[in-house]
Amino acid sequence: MITAYELSRKNPGPPETVEELRSYLQAALEVEHLTIPVYMTGMYTIRPGTNRPAQNTIRSVVLEEMLHLTLAANLLNAVGGTPDVANPGFVAGYPAVLPFSDPSLPPVPLQHFSPEALDTFMLIERPRSFVPPDPQATGWTSIGQFYGFIRQGLIDLEGSAEGSTIFTGPPERQVGPEDFYNSGGEVFAVTDLKSALLAVEVISDQGEGVADTIWDSDDLHFGEERQVAHYFRFKEIRTGRRYGRHDLPRTEPSGPVVDVTWDDTYPILGDTKVSDYPPRSQVRRQAQLFNERYAYLLTLLDMAFTGIPRAMHYAVPVMLELRDLAQRMYRNPHPDDDRARDGYHASPTFELVDDHFDSARVQATEVLRTDPTPTEESAR
């Protein structure tokens, strides 16, 4: 597979070979995953019982990022690649650089619920039409632009396949709706150009809106209620007001007020490491346990994406477990007295190492061996 460094040496644009396409799609997995700890941190640092509309909104985006991660894996499998999400290198150190992005995009930090966090969320999700063309750019400047490159690459490469096809991956590796519990869109198998372009469209539209509007396209593709895209959901929180039916992308929301109380949060330091917590302390044990369980989540996803789609059934309860572990940590004042006096709290660190994944794979293999036909109830 082409490395990120090699791709960074060329001007940004569509992939020109199937090997490059696979590298773009692996990068898409990394982009989709990179947002999940960022949004989770914003959501779970909200104090219990407060900011419910904001928490529900961020949660809806996290679930759709899981959908995007799965669709990106289906795309990569469809063109003969192999998703790789269960290794330390897949989990970016925060602040994190978005893969293949232009240096004008700043590294993405972990932040507690705050206006600054929502500004970061909006920067990640900003529509491509909001970003002026930059002929000097050396990478993509919006996620929508990045998926636009992937879309064009799919079209060009399939068109030049000369009676063959680039969609050579084994169909049994596709994660379908029977394997995926979610809200916000449907998972579907990617088997040809039509389904591949639909997957790209769903990912892009849910993030930035369809056809330069504030709305996603779930009503068109899945018969679901139309809702505003991720960027605009975050702007509703940031401005404290919902969008109205006739609002436009470049106008301010004009609908009902959203009750947001920015002080109802657990402030954290986003660059905290496990080593910052005292040895043998409870908070250090909690941080280590969180990292172990997060590696288990990624291992289940990796197994689901590489031939055992039913492993996806076990991911949902692990996400609920991670929620509880994170919220428990945030309630602890930072163990450093100076930082605690400044009002900071302990937080998960998302530091994963090979040993975490080795142990997680042993556990996941045993679970799948002893429960070969999971149901939603048994997975819980």
Tell me, yes or no, whether 240 and 132 share the same domain: yes
Tell me, yes or no, whether 309 and 219 share the same domain: no
Tell me, yes or no, whether 213 and 324 share the same domain: no
Output the domain CATH number for residue 54: 1.20.1260.10
Tell me, yes or no, whether 137 and 218 share the same domain: yes
Tell me, yes or no, whether 194 and 318 share the same domain: no
pLDDT score at 380: 47
Tell me, yes or no, whether 89 and 158 share the same domain: yes
The answer to whether residues 101 and 370 touch, using CB atoms and an 8 Å cutoff, is no
Domain boundary among 213, 242, 265: 265
Enumerate residue ranges in the chain where pLDDT < 70. Answer: 1-11, 181-185, 372-380
Tell me, yes or no, whether 147 and 242 share the same domain: yes
pLDDT score at 12: 78
Domain boundary among 265, 283, 312: 265
pLDDT score at 370: 87
Residue type, 192: D
Tell me, yes or no, whether 199 and 104 share the same domain: yes
Residue type, 152: Q
Quote the pTM value.
0.94
What does the H/E/C string look like for the chain? Answer: CCCHHHHHCCCCCCCCCHHHHHHHHHHHHHHHHHHHHHHHHHHHCECCCCCHHHHHHHHHHHHHHHHHHHHHHHHHHHCCCCCCCCCHHHCCCCCECCCCECCCCCCECCCCCCHHHHHHHHHHHCCHHHCCCCCCCCCECCHHHHHHHHHHHHHHHHHCCCCCCCCCCCHHHCCCHHHCCCCCCCCCCCCCHHHHHHHHHHHHHHHHCCCCCCECCHHHHHCCCCCECHHHHHHHHHHCECCCCCCCCCCCCCCCECCCCCCCECCECCCCCHHHCCCCCHHHHHHHHHHHHHHHHHHHHHHHHCCCHHHHHHHHHHHHHHHHHHHHHHCCECCCHHHHHCCCECCCCCCCCHHHHHHHHHHHHHHHHHCCCCCHHHHC
Domain boundary among 265, 294, 312: 265
Tell me, yes or no, whether 18 and 125 share the same domain: yes
Tell me, yes or no, whether 297 and 255 share the same domain: no
Q: Which structural domain, as residue segments, surrounds residue 7? A: 1-265
Q: Give residue-wise pLDDT tens across range 170-190.
A: 999 999 988 876 544 589 999
The total of structural domains in the chain comes to 2
Tell me, yes or no, whether 159 and 242 share the same domain: yes
Structure tokens that stand for 257 in this block: 């007020």
pLDDT score at 183: 46
Tell me, yes or no, whether 194 and 229 share the same domain: yes
